[in-house]
């Protein structure tokens, strides 16, 4: 294997002390308590103080204006800023030669890429000029469908530089799913690559874009970055190469002045009904909150190397690979590969190679590695690690312990960060070494976050050691402002279940110490390997298969993915081979959404358990999928109870 020497940051230490004096940093439980009390006593004063760390082109008139009924949420109204000025320009003087980004390729034999703040700044400015030259201006939507290569981060930041709204779509989504997202946001331009590497596989990315664009009239231009060296079909007058364009671009690009409440990006996510919705985040509040939470949750110190293994196609990658770290002048890593290739020691090899100090991943990755020999971990030192983190789904006790003992060596705090695409940043979590750890508990709310547990009638449950619906009662700066093009949907989805609260869709437990443990979704959202899907979304996909009459989808516990997708399907009679039919239905889902949404189990049924009013009783389907048939609860309201017996007898039980 080729060896590349890696030289760590060699920053000046005086920066460290300087920054700490300027910034509010939580180091002890007392600091946390103080910050939390301040944030609830005087939320506006608290967030005003934090915001002062940043460079604003014009100050705000008012810190916060809000009501949760419409909803209307405005942070730092009247202020002007450009977030990229705070991620790049602001650091140039003191950190120009510090590493901003380290990129580790899929194949360990390929050379890594390192970009200093100066270099990243230059790349971003050049590419921002490329976007302008290709007709993009402030407010235009740009779709980014790319592998985890440095240009993905550059593209995201370049959009923000000129005030274009990025909509990153994870490069595992199908052409159909991509087209829906492009059309919903009416994107003018798409940025993509020829193909991508994922473990041992090579995947054609441009081909997916070409197929999607057959049904997207809004797209005028496609910029293609070469990654795998294939020669894709380049459509005349539409497609241009990244490398050709950037060569000629000017390195000077002033940051576009943005209102604090101007849109920064759209990110699509699934809910319990209908198509995925475009969650909208805005410039000012998102900047303040992601910057603050990054620094505190991960206890980031000036010369640390921080690595989050997420894909930038998800919110975790947006907030905690790109925005949060760069706002803090941190060194952030991007990883193109997968945890198990070329072997299950890949993560730990990378940690040792760069001396990673903060490592942030998902429980599903941990569980997939637990299934392999422990030697894959033990043959690396992992001495550099100081904080380890988890995100995306509840972490079960076995995974928590394995991660804490074998990776964190029982000396690193394991921060279990609960949050959502809609919340923009971490909401409930351990904070470095400052707050106590409790396995499987996310812990305490971040300063500025006021969680409550509600009962079914929307009353706040005051006692501790209880479970309830998790809602938030006061705005925080990075909360979603709307769902793109459909404000009513935002109101209905998040602000109408419980009047006066933002409803998360999660259930939670609060223990006697006031710490929170997230139980999981209480709505029709399934969380597969940390990826969200709506049951309706998958059912719609399955129903696209012409042999399908009706379907119902539920989640069930899966040992690695957290939840797996279990589909009950009614097909037309016709005596088709069940295995072939299953394969066809799976293929339909792959076409409609992508491989990540493939049902684990498909059971053919003759009927679905419905109430007299025609509503599917998912509770029953969930129990059957979990194999818990002895306790189906009340089935008296069913139209035809016989259906349930049939379903039970044909169930594909979980071992």
Instruction: State the residues that interact with ligand WTA by CB under 6 A.
Output: 269, 314-316, 390-394, 416-421, 442, 504-506, 518, 520-521, 527, 532
Min dist CB 306 to ligand WTA, Å, is 17
What is the arrangement of strands in the sheet containing 516-521, beginning at the earlier edge strand? 451-454, 466-472, 502-510, 516-521
- How far apart CA 288 and CA 267 sit, in angstroms, is 19
Assigned token pair, 617: 């009783």
Closer Cβ to ligand WTA, 506 or 592, answer by number = 506
Helix, strand or coil for residue 348?
A: helix
Closer Cβ to ligand WTA, 274 or 520, answer by number = 520
Min dist CB 557 to ligand WTA, Å, is 14
Closer Cβ to ligand WTA, 416 or 600, answer by number = 416
Closer Cβ to ligand WTA, 197 or 298, answer by number = 298
Q: Which residues pair with 503 in a beta bridge?
A: 471
Closer Cβ to ligand WTA, 433 or 527, answer by number = 527
* Strand 601-604 to 562-571 pairing: parallel
Min dist CB 558 to ligand WTA, Å, is 15
Min dist CB 366 to ligand WTA, Å, is 12
Closer Cβ to ligand WTA, 132 or 531, answer by number = 531
Closer Cβ to ligand WTA, 342 or 520, answer by number = 520
Closer Cβ to ligand WTA, 96 or 520, answer by number = 520
Min dist CB 354 to ligand WTA, Å, is 24
Closer Cβ to ligand WTA, 128 or 442, answer by number = 442
| CA-to-CA separations, 523 to 42, 276, 533, in angstroms, rounded | 33, 15, 11
| CA-to-CA separations, 125 to 44, 122, 160, 589, in angstroms, rounded | 34, 5, 11, 40
- How far apart CA 21 and CA 17 sit, in angstroms, is 6
Closer Cβ to ligand WTA, 364 or 545, answer by number = 364
Q: Which residues pair with 358 in a beta bridge?
A: 306, 387
Angle at 139 between CA 133 and CA 144, to 5 degrees: 70
Assigned token pair, 96: 């120009």
- Quickly list H helices, 9-82: 14-22, 29-41, 43-51
Min dist CB 140 to ligand WTA, Å, is 25
Min dist CB 579 to ligand WTA, Å, is 33
Residue among 410, 508, 521 at smallest CA distance from 461:
508
Min dist CB 555 to ligand WTA, Å, is 11
Min dist CB 34 to ligand WTA, Å, is 25
Using the structure block, give the residue that is written with the tokens 């975790």. Answer: 316
Closer Cβ to ligand WTA, 302 or 506, answer by number = 506
Residue among 174, 179, 177, 154 at smallest CA distance from 166:
154
Residues with Cβ within 8 Å of residue 67, at least 6 apart in sequence: none
Closer Cβ to ligand WTA, 108 or 562, answer by number = 562
Q: Which helix (H) or strand (E) holds 472?
A: strand 466-472
Min dist CB 630 to ligand WTA, Å, is 27
Min dist CB 424 to ligand WTA, Å, is 10
Rounded to an integer, what is the distance from CA 355 to the centroid of its chain? 25
- How far apart CA 537 and CA 599 sit, in angstroms, is 12
- How far apart CA 89 and CA 252 sit, in angstroms, is 12
Contact 385, 351 (CB under 8 A): yes
Residues with Cβ within 8 Å of residue 375, at least 6 apart in sequence: none
Min dist CB 216 to ligand WTA, Å, is 25
- Quickly list H helices, 574-629: 578-592, 618-626
Give backbone dihedrals phi and psi of 504, rounded to 5 degrees, phi first. -85, -25
Tell how many helices (H) and how many strands (E) occur in the chain. Answer: 22, 30
Using the structure block, give the residue that is written with the tokens 């069930």. Answer: 556
Closer Cβ to ligand WTA, 314 or 568, answer by number = 314
Closer Cβ to ligand WTA, 163 or 430, answer by number = 430
Residue among 340, 336, 327 at smallest CA distance from 309:
336
Min dist CB 279 to ligand WTA, Å, is 8
Closer Cβ to ligand WTA, 375 or 511, answer by number = 511
Q: How many other C-beta atoms are found inside a 10 Å radius of the C-beta of residue 378?
A: 12
Q: Which helix (H) or strand (E) holds 109?
A: none
> How far is the first Cα of the chain from the last one, in angstroms, to the nearest whole number?
41
Min dist CB 520 to ligand WTA, Å, is 6
Min dist CB 48 to ligand WTA, Å, is 27
Please give the DSSP secondary-structure letter assigned to residue 597: G
């Amino acid at each position: 294997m080729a060896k590349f020497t890696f030289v760590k940051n060699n920053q000046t230490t005086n920066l460290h002390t300087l920054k700490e004096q300027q910034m509010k940093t939580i180091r002890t439980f007392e600091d946390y308590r103080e910050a939390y009390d301040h944030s609830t006593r005087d939320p506006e004063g608290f967030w005003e103080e934090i915001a002062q760390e940043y460079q604003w082109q014009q100050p705000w008139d008012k810190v916060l204006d809000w009501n949760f009924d419409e909803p209307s949420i405005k942070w730092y109204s009247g202020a002007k800023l450009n977030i990229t000025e705070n991620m790049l320009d602001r650091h140039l003087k003191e950190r120009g030669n510090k590493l901003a980004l380290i990129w580790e390729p899929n194949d360990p034999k390929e050379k890594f890429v390192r970009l200093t703040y100066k270099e990243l700044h230059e790349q971003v400015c050049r590419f921002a000029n490329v976007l302008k030259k290709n007709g993009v201006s402030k407010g235009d939507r740009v779709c980014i469908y790319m592998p985890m290569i440095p240009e993905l981060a550059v593209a995201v930041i370049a959009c923000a530089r000129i005030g274009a709204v990025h909509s990153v779509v994870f490069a595992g989504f199908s052409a159909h799913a991509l087209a829906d997202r492009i059309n919903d946001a009416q994107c003018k331009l798409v940025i993509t690559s020829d193909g991508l590497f994922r473990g041992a596989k090579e995947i054609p990315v441009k081909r997916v874009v070409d197929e999607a664009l057959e049904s997207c009239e809004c797209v005028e231009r496609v910029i293609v970055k070469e990654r795998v060296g294939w020669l894709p079909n380049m459509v005349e007058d539409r497609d241009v190469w990244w490398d050709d364009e950037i060569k000629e671009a000017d390195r000077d690009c002033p940051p576009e002045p943005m209102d604090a409440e101007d849109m920064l990006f759209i990110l699509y996510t699934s809910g319990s009904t209908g198509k995925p919705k475009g969650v909208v985040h805005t410039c000012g509040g998102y900047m303040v909150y992601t910057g603050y939470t990054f620094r505190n949750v991960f206890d980031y110190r000036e010369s640390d190397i921080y690595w989050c293994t997420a894909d930038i196609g998800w919110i975790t990658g947006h907030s905690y690979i790109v925005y949060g770290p760069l706002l803090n002048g941190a060194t952030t890593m991007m990883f193109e590969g997968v945890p198990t290739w070329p072997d299950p020691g890949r993560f730990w090899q990378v940690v040792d190679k760069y001396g990673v100090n903060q490592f942030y991943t998902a429980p599903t990755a941990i569980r997939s590695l637990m299934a392999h020999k422990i030697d894959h971990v033990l043959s690396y030192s992992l001495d550099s690690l100081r904080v380890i983190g988890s995100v995306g789904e509840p972490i079960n006790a076995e995974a928590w312990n394995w991660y804490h003992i074998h990776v964190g060596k029982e000396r690193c705090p394991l921060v279990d960060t609960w949050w959502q695409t809609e919340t923009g940043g971490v909401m409930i979590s351990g904070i470095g070494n400052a707050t106590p750890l409790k396995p499987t508990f996310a812990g305490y709310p971040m300063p500025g976050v006021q969680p409550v547990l509600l009962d079914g009638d929307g009353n706040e449950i005051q006692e501790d050691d209880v479970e309830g619906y998790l809602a938030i009662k006061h705005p925080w700066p990075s909360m979603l402002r709307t769902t793109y093009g459909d404000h009513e949907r935002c109101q209905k989805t998040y602000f109408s279940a419980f009047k006066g609260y933002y409803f998360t869709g999660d259930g939670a437990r609060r223990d006697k110490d006031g710490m929170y443990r997230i139980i999981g979704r209480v709505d029709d959202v399934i969380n597969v390997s940390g990826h969200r899907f709506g049951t309706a979304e998958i059912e719609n996909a399955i129903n696209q298969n012409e042999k399908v009459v009706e379907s119902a989808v539920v989640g069930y516990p899966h040992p690695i993915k957290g939840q797996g997708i279990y589909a009950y399907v009614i097909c037309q009679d016709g005596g088709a081979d069940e295995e072939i039919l299953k394969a066809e239905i799976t293929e339909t889902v792959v076409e409609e959404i992508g491989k990540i949404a493939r049902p684990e189990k498909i059971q053919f049924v003759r009927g679905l358990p419905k109430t007299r009013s025609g509503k599917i009783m998912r509770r029953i389907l969930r129990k059957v999928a979990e194999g818990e048939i002895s306790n189906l609860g009340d089935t008296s309201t069913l139209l035809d109870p016989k259906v349930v017996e049939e379903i039970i007898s044909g169930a594909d039980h979980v071992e």
